[in-house]
Structure 1
């Protein structure tokens, strides 16, 4: 019995961390909870098991698991002859690295586009916020350095990154 309680405590930490991740990223708590269950499960979990474990509706679980799949955080596991939807966490380090860098790249691209549009509006005389030009230049320089760091990390293997950190 003590081992079961300990296992539940360990799972709770992972699940709580995943719920916090979901909140930070603007996803639902249910997405974080489901991600935590997938990460902490010993084997791939079925859609029905997730419904039973969470009490969420089948449509809520299905939508959230599809979202997690599209984010590259879980994968659908296919077992020949088994028509159930099984899900497992993505654990391959290179895939995780790529997914993290892709997410950062999207954020950087979004913000750089906003900077460019704002600068164009100011230069076209559509705004009286010329003070923003200096701020935009500074932010653009920071984001360009960020892009270079991302490109550098993409080219490095995890072993090379690990070596440079030791």
Structure 2
């Protein structure tokens, strides 16, 4: 029985960990494992090499790599005279988070926030309903937190490469919201 080196074990554990996190966030385990594999690989890999390394089908790898490309998490390279595509991971974590927030989460946040605002408007029109004030208070409470979340996402999206100024502004927004919640008695 062949014993894996510490480096191979570390790569396997990292790949497993990232796969779990990406699955938790709704991207899928293979999606995360592919990015992790490329992230810890010093060079570029083909679809065949990735499929062999993760013991999954080339079709699965191809589909997930296209998704990774759309989120700016991998880059495709071509070599003159070679028909295969080669891929490498994006290593700027901040850039990846911003792309994901911009392309996936922000759209979903905006749709959710719109529905909450429409709910509040309907409750405000529901004059005389027995539990109107209770429902309105609950919706407005959630709306304040959603507004905070929206400001945090906007702050993250405006971070520059160093990110320090944007991060400081984001933390200040969080502090203000906490102070406001305490003043209103949450």
TM-score (norm 1): 0.78
- Partners of 2:57 and 2:93 lie apart in 1 by 32
Match of 2:106 in 1: 105
- Partners of 2:78 and 2:42 lie apart in 1 by 17
Change over 3 Å in CA distance of 1:155–1:27 after alignment to 2: closer
Alignment pair present for 1:6 and 2:6: yes
How do 1:10-159 and structure 2 match up within 5 A? Answer: 10-92=10-92, 95-102=95-102, 103-123=104-124, 130=132, 131-159=134-162
Match of 2:178 in 1: none
- Partners of 2:131 and 2:69 lie apart in 1 by 42
Shift of 1:24: 0.9
Flag as ranges the 4+ runs of structure 1 deviating above 6 A: none
State the Cα deviation string for residues 38-58 of structure 1 (Å, max 9, x = none): 111111110010122223222
User: What secondary structure does 1:72 align onto?
Assistant: coil
State the Cα deviation string for residues 17-62 of structure 1 (Å, max 9, x = none): 2111222112332222222211111111100101222232221111
Query: Do 2:18 and 2:36's aligned partners in 1 also have CA atoms closer than 8 Å?
Result: yes
- Worse-matched range after superposition: 94-103 or 30-39: 94-103
TM-score (norm 2): 0.71
Change over 3 Å in CA distance of 1:33–1:94 after alignment to 2: closer
State the Cα deviation string for residues 129-161 of structure 1 (Å, max 9, x = none): 733322221222222223223333333323251
Shift of 1:97: 4.6
Q: Runs of 5+ in structure 2 lacking a partner?
A: 172-186
Aligned residues: 161
Query: Higher relative contact order by CA 8 Å / sep ≥ 6: 1 or 2?
Result: 1
Query: Do 1:46 and 1:84's aligned partners in 2 also have CA atoms closer than 8 Å?
Result: yes
Query: Do 2:71 and 2:96's aligned partners in 1 also have CA atoms closer than 8 Å?
Result: no
